[in-house]
Amino acid sequence: MITGLGKIAHKAMIAVAMGMLALTQMAPAPAHAQSRIKDIADFEGVRDNMLVGYGLVVGLNGTGDDLGDAEFTRQSMVAMLERLGINVRDQIEDLESDNIAAVMVTATLPPFSRQGSRIDVNISAIGTAKSLQGGTLLVTPMVGADGEVYAVAQGNLAVGGFSAGGNAATVVKGVPTSARIANGGIVEREIDFNLNSMQDMSVVLRNPDFTTARRISDAINAYLGQVAARASDPGTVRLTIPDSYNQNVVALLTDIEQLRVEPDQIARVVIDENTGTIVMGENVRINRVAIAQGNLTIRVTETPQVSQPSPFSQGGNTEVVDRTNIEVDEGEDNQLGVLSSGVSLQELVNGLNSLGVGPRDMITILQAIKTSGALQAEIEVM
């Protein structure tokens, strides 16, 4: 039996439980399509820089450039030997070697790379070399877009492919004329950029969109509790550094890049006619439209037969008699399908598949629907 004091406690427990249930129902459901700002945007000044250089690979086992066909390799070898104090100008026409190859060296300089740090480099043959297997890249300066040397590369090549063969057959796996050197480049020059001295900066969207830019600015302002971000165009959000983050921009970017927003996307259909690939966005919609697809197929089959004379006959010749079978398919079994207005992506795909439409024919149908004005999406042909 519950006493008066027990009844009060019992009612209080019920009230607390109902309150917790109400708070649970009022809590917003998690958005499954949200992304971090760092995954959909870049910050001003935080960027890579491309480097390129021209060098020589030595130590090849007879798979290098033919000096008779690659004059630039011959000239490079002569220049290299002269820098080492060996004069071969008088014998330049007599130089013959297939153990050396001219290559292009490329790399990406990460943001805020410091002098002495190492980067990976890629090597690609530009002459008549058959393989770079077993080669060594000699010291190669690597320049940026301004012509300044930012890194120097050297080291043993790691080739992912190989080539082997004989007089009658040849086997090639991967690309033996392309290689890589892990940590093969040393940074010699730093790019001067003081991030903490910035008073304002740009947040650049990787996929420009008005709605996404507005959502990013709203998320930043809500976090900071003040109007510090403003979308200036579909691809840029201008951010003013708050006083609380003065000379501490790194902390501000660390906090901002973890904020989550839901990127918006335009209705787009991407078509690759070479492979028959079709990619459709979630927001693709079509108006009410009827679709019929049918092809005229004529199949001709030749089955020649041999006619021979009877056994022990005194005359007759063996003859080949042609037998031709012609089949005509006019697509009479294909039906006219009707797609209602505002159907979703899944309904559109299901409707086309129900007509037995393959990827190639689906590309033509989508383009025809767009021409008719029923497809509310942008078609991009790769």
For 354: left if phi > 0, alpha if psi spans -120 to 50, otherwise beta; the answer is alpha
Burial of 181 (0-12, 13-18, 19+ CB in 10 A): buried
- Whole-number pLDDT of residue 9: 46
Residue 56 φ then ψ, to 5°: -120, 140
> Does residue 218 share a domain with residue 112?
no
Q: What is the 3-state secondary structure (H, E, C) of the chain?
A: CCCHHHHHHHHHHHHHHHHHHHHHHHCCCCCCCCEEHHHHEEECCCCCEEEEEEEEEECCCCCCCCCCCCHHHHHHHHHHHHHCCCCCHHHHHHCCCCCEEEEEEEEEECCCCCCCCEEEEEEEECCCCCCCCCCEEEEEEEECCCCCEEEEEEEECEECCEEEECCCCEEEECCCCEEEEEEEEEECCCCCCCCCCCCEEEEEECCCCHHHHHHHHHHHHHHHCCCCEEEEECCEEEEECCHHHCCCHHHHHHHHCCCEECCCCCCEEEEECCCCEEEECCCCEECCEEEECCCCEEEEEECCEEECCCCCCCCCCCEEECCEEEEEECCCCCCEEEECCCECHHHHHHHHHHCCCCHHHHHHHHHHHHHHCCEECEEEEC
Does some domain include residue 15?
no
Domain count, the chain: 3
| Residue-wise burial string across 226-237, b where 16 or more C-beta atoms lie within 10 A, e elsewhere | eebbebeeebbb
Query: What are the average pLDDT values for consecutive 10-residue runs of the chain, which has 382 residues?
Result: 46 44 39 80 91 95 86 86 82 78 96 94 93 94 95 94 69 85 95 87 93 95 94 95 91 93 87 79 75 55 69 70 61 52 64 69 79 81 80
Does some domain include residue 5?
no
> Does residue 160 share a domain with residue 76?
yes
> Does residue 217 share a domain with residue 177?
no
Last residue of a domain, one of 132, 157, 187: 187
Does some domain include residue 195?
no
Last residue of a domain, one of 157, 187, 217: 187
Does some domain include residue 149?
yes
> Does residue 148 share a domain with residue 53?
yes
> Does residue 133 share a domain with residue 57?
yes
> Does residue 124 share a domain with residue 181?
yes
Does some domain include residue 121?
yes
- Whole-number pLDDT of residue 296: 44
> Does residue 58 share a domain with residue 180?
yes
β partners of residue 141: 152
> Does residue 213 share a domain with residue 181?
no
> Does residue 207 share a domain with residue 132?
no
Last residue of a domain, one of 187, 219, 249: 187
For 280: left if phi > 0, alpha if psi spans -120 to 50, otherwise beta; the answer is beta
Beta strand pairing status for 229-233 and 236-240?
antiparallel
- Whole-number pLDDT of residue 135: 94
What range defines the domain where residue 328 resides?
269-306+319-381
Does some domain include residue 246?
yes
Q: How far apart are the first and last CA of the chain?
A: 78
Does some domain include residue 103?
yes
Does some domain include residue 366?
yes
> Does residue 283 share a domain with residue 256?
no
> Does residue 211 share a domain with residue 165?
no
d(CA 167, CA 165): 7
> Does residue 204 share a domain with residue 118?
no
